[in-house]
Amino acid sequence: MIQKPNLLPPAYQPPPPVNWLRVGIISAVFAVIVTFGVIGTKFYLEVQSLEGKITELQRLAEQSTVLEEVARINSLQDEINSLEEEMAAMKTRIVPLSVIFGDISRVMPTRMSLVTADCAGDVLIIQGVADTRRPVANYVIELRKFNWIDKAEVLSIIENADGDGNINYSFEIMVNLKQLVVEGGQTDA
């Protein structure tokens, strides 16, 4: 479009007409720039927030790994303590059979003999034969003197006679063993 020249002095000239198309395009471009700026800023802030959360989760993961290791170490320490207690308890419960049999044979009277000695857990059953009842009683008294014996008692004494008229006595003695370590098996006199 050809514009006519305006020959009026500048003070009397009307303002130039507004080119609304140009204003609209400039406004649209400005709005797009502002919109992309706002979207970009929001996106940047969300990315920063997510990176912060990722860093926090990584730190927590490292801490949880450390906490799991600490829990595993504590569990192992508890197991070690339990095993040490069991070992200590076993050391206090074990009485060597060689000491027991050595002691019961050392104090046995001359007029009696042992047939069996059966040890099951904390109970020792001694069976034997004696000429009279007195050696059996003396034997039980001597057995009670050992520090590894909790209790010794005669369960039974049975009188036996053979075909020649000889009399002997079969006996059974029960001995309860203490829960302690024996050192040497000497009597507590």
CA distance 124 to 177: 7
**Whether 128 and 158 share a structural domain:** yes
Tell me the whole-structure pTM to 2 decimals: 0.47
Q: Do residue 87 and residue 101 come from a single domain?
A: no
Give the model's confidence band at 185: pLDDT under 50 very low, under 70 low, under 90 confident, else very high. very low
Number of domains in the chain: 2
pLDDT digits (tens, 9 = 90+) for 165-182: 788 899 999 998 876 544
**Which of 68, 92, 116 is the last residue in one of the domains?**
92
Residue 105, domain CATH: 3.30.980.50
The answer to whether the beta carbons of residues 171 and 130 sit under 8 Å apart is yes
Does residue 2 lie in a domain region? no
**What digits encode the pLDDT tens for the residues 93-135?**
566 777 788 888 888 888 888 898 888 778 889 999 999 889 9
